[in-house]
Structure 1
Amino acid sequence: MQRYPMTLEGEIALQNELKDLKQHQRPKVIQDIAEAREHGDLKENAEYHAAREQQGFIEGRIQEIENKLSNAQVINIQDIPKSGKVIFGCTVTLLNLETDQGVTYKIVGEDEANVKVNKISVTSPIARALIGKEEGDEVVVKTPGGDVEYEIELVEHK
């Protein structure tokens, strides 16, 4: 069985979502289905069908989260000795050598990745190019738009 890397905060977020689904959303949708059944004819009862569809989404998400958690290899960045190298879970500040623009990314598991909050997947082209490098190193990232050169300005293990 293949294990998938996940940060400690990613695991906590999934556990919180799972708890909410099981303790709040599932009981609510069960209650909604019961109320809709009381309205009579189920064939033309839009509330019933909507609640059943919502129940399917909730049950599917519960299964998905439980599967992810069972296959997760949770890595706490605090437990790893500080080496100054780019590793899973660290935060990296880069300088684009062509545009002189800086950007900061945290390298996380695939399920945690969200570019809008500067979290990139460990399997992304940028992260793969950065892993194992150190502050001051220059890296070339192959992107669909062409090669981009970055300098690693700062590696934080937080």
Structure 2
Amino acid sequence: MYKNEKLDEMQIQRRNKIGNNCFMAMFYLLFIDIGLREIGISWLAYPLNVLIIITICMVYYLIGTIKSGSYLGVNYKNENSKYVIGGIFVSVFLLISGIVLTVFFKDNNPLFSNIGTTLIVITISILVFLVIVALGNISRHKNDNGEN
């Protein structure tokens, strides 16, 4: 049996239950997509539809594990909160500058529009990661206080 030093048994049970639900949802969503495609209904092109279904299931998995308190281990300390807040401020600044570059310099120079779009995509990815870490810290704090 796999022993994870960071998670207790209840957290592992919750994580596995959420993972099984996520896998079954992905399985049925892919089969529904295949069935719709066979009867002539195509909502997205081939690789993109599978990517969207997998992404939806992974977001469900992340939200479920964070909400249930089984994303971070029991020995995790909340020492990174000032780095998370700093990262959020930097990411918001990068997002604003990416939007400004994309909106105002799009017509003048195509190089700036590509940089702005790249900044927006990278910043949104960083913000998603930071939100996951912050929600994990909040969930861990609630579980430490005995509030589930």
Pair in the same fold by TM > 0.5: no
Larger radius of gyration, structure 1 or 2?
Answer: 1
Pick the TM interval, shorter chain: 0.3 to 0.5
- Tell me: higher relative CO, structure 1 or 2? Use CA pairs within 8 A at least 6 residues apart: 2
Bigger share in strand: 1
Bigger share in helix: 2
Question: Taking structure 1 as the reference length, what is the TM-score of the superposition?
Answer: 0.36
